[in-house]
Each structure stands twice: as structure tokens, then as C-alpha cells.
């Protein structure tokens, strides 16, 4: 039975301030592969199509609340533990009888498959609670999951309270839980804060459920999947895990990554079949690359679409709004922003094309710039099909170059150019015979006189 077959609620705990990150940005808004920690967890939760999705925040976390939309927001004020956070969400779960998943917003690598397995395990066992466990290389400081022979969970023992036998247990608590929504109000009502910290702990739900006559199950995940992020070092570790997953998925789908460990992908990067990506290419969010494209080394792409058979790079930059057509060549040190380069066009060297259209089969020479900004507003450059733009030209927008036109090298084009016309704008070349030889002789004589 899948989670979609019955009602499901997901509660995401995101009230932590993340002081160890030493950042003005809320911990859960730090990014892994171009998506916030919170965004990763919400994406996994939404993949299960929950009937209710509640994000628990602390007060004055408006930026996080905006990032969580359209989820329902519950406020925990003041924060008094994980159990107290679920209490804060209880009002949004009133009357809910389905499964309730409780997950943490700082565990970005948690997958929808694992969450689904937790729900399925609770339903199969008719358990009151299912906990998520993992087997870390170093279990020190983690709570141990003490299980019975049938695999059910007997209790969670914190490391500091564990005896020698319990400390030898490799299965540890990852924090996430799936609870029977009908039982949840009874569990919350029985949580107590009579501990050194004066907080309500969700881990107490295990003992409470068992006292109420309900079994408790366990689902295991890998250590990488449940890793929490609360420092910059752990953020980097999560990035490494995400990149490993994304690279493997891209290659499995038919892309070739030359030096995959040097290629950085975003969470939503789409690479088609027979795409080849050179070393040290970087993909920001919003990039789609169709089949049979070559992305050469040291390219930077973000918010760009690249059509079939195009060649990009090396050292090219495609900024948001770049639309690269079929068979287009974008060469070294070319930057494209908010521009469409139509099928078969070539922009091969040292060129900036912004807020523009480059028509089919047009050739843009080296050093060309579309001058799109006047200090106050952006303006559009429209270059037709089969145009030849000579090297080192400046096209001052707004301007239109008609189909088949030619622009002489070194021109500054400030007015529209008609189709099939030649536009040349440069000063008249003059020549003074013998001047260079006379200049060199004069300079040499001056140099000798200074030495004397």
C-alpha cells in the first residue's frame, strides 16, 4: 500500500536557528546543488502527495516562511524541543487520523523512497510509531535503537545513558518518525519536560506508544541519507553526496561526464542522451540540455536552454534566459544573457550577446558586443538570419539588423541596417609614407644621447 492510498500528513521541523553556521541566513535556507536544505526536504515530502504539509518555524523567520510556501506554517515560540515542535503543529493536524511523518529540515539527502518505506512499515505493522535508524561509522553521541528479536523497537537510549552492551549496538536514531495520527494526540499529551533541559523530546514517543499497547517499528537508511547539516563543513559534505547522486543519475540517463568529479550539477539539471560534458563545467539551476550537445571544459550555465546538437565552450557562460538553438556554436569566452541564438548560428569568440536575437545561420565575429544597457534601462538587439557581423563590432541597442546584412569589422552600429545591406562605420584610414622608419630613427638617436 502506498502513502497515496491513505491520507498522509508531513510535519517539517525547521525552527532551528543554526548558530553553528555563523551566518545571517537561516540554516535551512543554505543551498545544496542550487536548492535550499528546506527545499530538498519539502520536495521529498511532496513526492508522497501528502494531504497536509506543515512547516514548524520559530518566530521572526519570515524568510523561511516565504521559502516554505504554499505549506502551512506553525510557530514554535519559545522552542522547547522536538516534541514541543510537534505540539506547535498539532492545531494544523486536529482531527487528522492518517499517518503523520515528522522530518527535519536540515536533513536534505533524505529521499522520498525512505519516507514512503516508513509509512508502509507503519501500516504493515499497524504500529503506533516507526522510527528511522542508520548505522554510522562512529556511533558515539548518537542514541541507540534497542530492538527485539522480531525487529520491533523497544526503546531509544541516549549515548550518555547507555551501558556497555547498549553502546555496542550499531543501529542509531536518525530522528525522523512516522506516527499513527489517531494516536498522536495521546502521545503529545503524555510528553513531559522533567529533564535537565526542561524540553519535550519526540523520542519519548517510543516509550509512550509501547505503554499504550502499540508496537514500534524501525526503517533503516544509509548514513549519507540522514546526515544533518548544522555547520559549513557538513554543508560541504551534503553537497558532495548530492553531486554524487546527480552525476550518477546523469550518466545512467546517457550523458558522458569527462572527469565527473569536476562537474557540478544543480538539483534540476536535465542532460539529454549522448550529451558530453567536459571537465570543470558548472550547472546552476534551470538548465536543460537536449540530446547530442557538447559542453566543453570550464563552461558556466545557469537558467539556460541548449537545443540538440549545439556545441558550447570551452570557457563559455550562458546566463539566465539564454536560449541556444539546434546546431549552434558558442565558442570560447562567449557570454549569452537573455538572448536567443537561433538554429545554426555561430558566436565563436570573445563576444557578449545580451537582450538579443541572433537569427538562423548568422555568424557573429570575435569581439562583438551588443550594447544593451544605457545606464537606466536594457534595450533589445535584433539580428536577422544569414547576417555576417564583422569582428570587434559594437551594436548599440535598440537596433535591428535585417536578414542577409553584413556589418564591417570594427563598426559601431547605432541605426537599423536594411536586409542585404553593408554597414560600415569607421574613420577614414590615412597613410604617411616613411613615417615609421623616421620615427624609429629619431627615437634611437634620443636614446643614445641620454646614455652619453
The torsion region of residue 210 among left (phi > 0), alpha (psi -120 to 50) and beta comes to alpha
350: phi then psi, degrees, rounded to nearest 5: 50, 50
Measured from the Cβ of residue 428, the count of other Cβ atoms closer than 10 Å reads 4
**Residue 68: is its pLDDT beyond 70?**
yes
Distance separating alpha carbons of residues 173 and 220, to the nearest angstrom: 9
> CATH fold of 3-220, please?
Spore Coat Polysaccharide Biosynthesis Protein SpsA; Chain A (3.90.550)
Is it the case that residue 1 has pLDDT exceeding 70? no
Work out the angle at residue 228's Cα, subtended by the Cα atoms of residues 223 and 231, and round it to the nearest 5 degrees. 125
Q: For residue 6, name the pLDDT band (cuts at 50, 70, 90).
A: low
Q: pLDDT tens digits, residue range 342-378?
A: 999 999 999 999 999 999 999 999 999 999 999 999 9
Q: Which tops the pLDDT comparison, 165 or 275?
A: 275
Q: From the centroid of its chain, how far is CA 237?
A: 15
Is residue 54 within 8 Å of 91, Cβ to Cβ?
Answer: no
Active site residues: 349
Q: What is the pLDDT of residues 210-259, one digit of tens each?
A: 999 999 999 999 999 999 999 999 999 999 999 999 999 999 999 999 99
**Which band of pLDDT confidence, cut at 50, 70 and 90, is reported for residue 5?**
very low
| Sign, Cα dihedral of 296, 297, 300, 302 | positive
Residue 274 scores a pLDDT above 50: yes
Q: Are the C-beta atoms of residues 253 and 270 closer than 8 Å to each other?
A: no
Whether residue 3 has pLDDT greater than 70? no
Asked if pLDDT for residue 62 goes beyond 80, the answer is yes
Bridge-partner residues for 174, per DSSP? none
Cell of 366: 570575435
Instruction: Answer for the pair 339, 357: CB distance below 8 angstroms, yes or no.
Output: yes
In tens, the pLDDT along 299-352 reads 999 999 999 999 999 999 999 999 999 999 999 999 999 999 999 999 999 999
* Every domain of the chain and the residues it spans: 3-220, 247-423
Cα separation, 265 vs 280, in Å, equals: 11
Residue ranges of E strands in 158-261: 172-180, 216-220, 256-257
**How high is the pLDDT of residue 8?**
97
- pLDDT tens digit string along 423-437? 999 888 899 999 999
What pLDDT, in 10s, does the model give residues 373-400?
Answer: 999 999 999 999 999 999 999 999 999 9
Q: What is the pLDDT of residue 195?
A: 85
Do you know the residue count of the chain? 452
Average pLDDT, the chain: 95
Per-residue cell: 133:
535508524
247-423: what CATH class? mainly beta
Q: What is the pTM assigned to this prediction?
A: 0.91
Amino acid at each position: 500500500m502506498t502513502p497515496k492510498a491513505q491520507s498522509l500528513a508531513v510535519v517539517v521541523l525547521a525552527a532551528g536557528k543554526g548558530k553553528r553556521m555563523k551566518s545571517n541566513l537561516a540554516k535551512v535556507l543554505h543551498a545544496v546543488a542550487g536548492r535550499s536544505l528546506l527545499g530538498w526536504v519539502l520536495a521529498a515530502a511532496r513526492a508522497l502527495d501528502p494531504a497536509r504539509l506543515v512547516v514548524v518555524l520559530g518566530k521572526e523567520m519570515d524568510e523561511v516562511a516565504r521559502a516554505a510556501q504554499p505549506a502551512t506554517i506553525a510557530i514554535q515560540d519559545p522552542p522547547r524541543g522536538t516534541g514541543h515542535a510537534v505540539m506547535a503543529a498539532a492545531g494544523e493536524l486536529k482531527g487528522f487520523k492518517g499517518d503523520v511523518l515528522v522530518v527535519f529540515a536540515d536533513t536534505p539527502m533524505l529521499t522520498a523512497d525512505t519516507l514512503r518505506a516508513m509509512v508502509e512499515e507503519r501500516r504493515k505493522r499497524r504500529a503506533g510509531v516507526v522510527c528511522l535508524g542508520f548505522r554510522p561509522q562512529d556511533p558515539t553521541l548518537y542514541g541507540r535503537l534497542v530492538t527485539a528479536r522480531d525487529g520491533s523497537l523497544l526503546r531509544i537510549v541516549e549515548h550518555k545513558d547507555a551501558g556497555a552492551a547498549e553502546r555496542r549496538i550499531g543501529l542509531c536514531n536518525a530522528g525522523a518518525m512516522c506516527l499513527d495520527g489517531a494516536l498522536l494526540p495521546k502521545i503529545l499529551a503524555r510528553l513531559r519536560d522533567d529533564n535537565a533541559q526542561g524540553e519535550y523530546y519526540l523520542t519519548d514517543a517510543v516509550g509512550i506508544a509501547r505503554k499504550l499497547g502499540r508496537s514500534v517499528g524501525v526503517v533503516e537508511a544509509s548514513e549519507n541519507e540522514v546526515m544533518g547539516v548544522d555547520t559549513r563543513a557538513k554543508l560541504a559534505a551534503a553537497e558532495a553526496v548530492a553531486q554524487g547522486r546527480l552525476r550518477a543519475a546523469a550518466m545512467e540517463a546517457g550523458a558522458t561526464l569527462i572527469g565527473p568529479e569536476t562537474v557540478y550539477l544543480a538539483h534540476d539539471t536535465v542532460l539529454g542522451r549522448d550529451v558530453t560534458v567536459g571537465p570543470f563545467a558548472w550547472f546552476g539551476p534551470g538548465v536543460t540540455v537536449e540530446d547530442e550537445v557538447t559542453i566543453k571544459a570550464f563552461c558556466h550555465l545557469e537558467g539556460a536552454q541548449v537545443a540538440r546538437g549545439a556545441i558550447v565552450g570551452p570557457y563559455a557562460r550562458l546566463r539566465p534566459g539564454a536560449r541556444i538553438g539546434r546546431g549552434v556554436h558558442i565558442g570560447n569566452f562567449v557570454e549569452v544573457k537573455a538572448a536567443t541564438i537561433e538554429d545554426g548560428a555561430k558566436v565563436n569568440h570573445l563576444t557578449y550577446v545580451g537582450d538579443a536575437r541572433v537569427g538562423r545561420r548568422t555568424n557573429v565575429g570575435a569581439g562583438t558586443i551588443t550594447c544593451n544597457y544605457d545606464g537606466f534601462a536594457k534595450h533589445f538587439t535584433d539580428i536577422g538570419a544569414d547576417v555576417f557581423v564583422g569582428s570587434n563590432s559594437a551594436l548599440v541597442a535598440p537596433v535591428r539588423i535585417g536578414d542577409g546584412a553584413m556589418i564591417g569589422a570594427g563598426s559601431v552600429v547605432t541605426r537599423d541596417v536594411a536586409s542585404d545591406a553593408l554597414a560600415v562605420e569607421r574613420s577614414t584610414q590615412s597613410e604617411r609614407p616613411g613615417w615609421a622608419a623616421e620615427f624609429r630613427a629619431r627615437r634611437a638617436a634620443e636614446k643614445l644621447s641620454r646614455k652619453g
